Amino acid sequence: MGKIEIKYKGDMLFETTIGNHSLEIDVPDSMGGKDRGMTPPQLMVAAIASCTAAFAAKYCNNAGINCQDMTVSLEFDKVQDPLRLTNFKMNIKLPNCNDEKRKLAIEKAAGHCPVHESMKHFEGIDFEVGLGN
């Protein structure tokens, strides 16, 4: 089982560590953030888009498709009641590929991203709060 640890550094700044990597995460201005790092929702959409990009690039590389200068963008809306991100629209651009027959295969391969799949099959989170020592 994978594990990520978040340490509160004070002043609404969080240090996130997973494996050998770490990054700082801030919160939105409305929660006291100071734009010192990505917010949790930004990190989530970055994970979806970068994972999609990786799976698209892997497929292209294996299929001999030129994916040099590929870009992936993800548009989304933030809505209320409950507060969430929705209406995701992924756009993969391959400026050096003109093979229309490969379009569907690239889209299918990109959709195998485990972040995307996790969202599709999300079953909830179990919370446990430990207090004191």
Starting at the edge strand that comes first in sequence, how are the strands of the sheet with 5-10 ordered?
A: 5-10, 13-18, 21-26
Question: Structural domain tally of the chain?
Answer: 2
Band of pLDDT at residue 49, cut at 50, 70 and 90? very high
Whole-number Å distance between alpha carbons of 7 and 59: 36
Determine the structural domain holding residue 17 and report its residue range. Answer: 1-37
Crossing angle of the two packed helices 40-63 and 103-110, in degrees rounded to 10: 130
Q: Are residues 87 and 115 in the same domain?
A: yes
Q: Are residues 22 and 55 in the same domain?
A: no
Q: Are residues 30 and 63 in the same domain?
A: no
Q: Are residues 44 and 90 in the same domain?
A: yes
Q: What is the pLDDT of residue 120?
A: 84
DSSP 41: H
Whole-number Å distance between alpha carbons of 73 and 89: 8
Report whether pLDDT(133) > 80.
no
Q: Are residues 80 and 94 in the same domain?
A: yes
Q: What is the pLDDT of residue 35?
A: 94
Q: Are residues 51 and 17 in the same domain?
A: no
Please report, for the domain that includes residue 106, its CATH number: 3.30.300.20
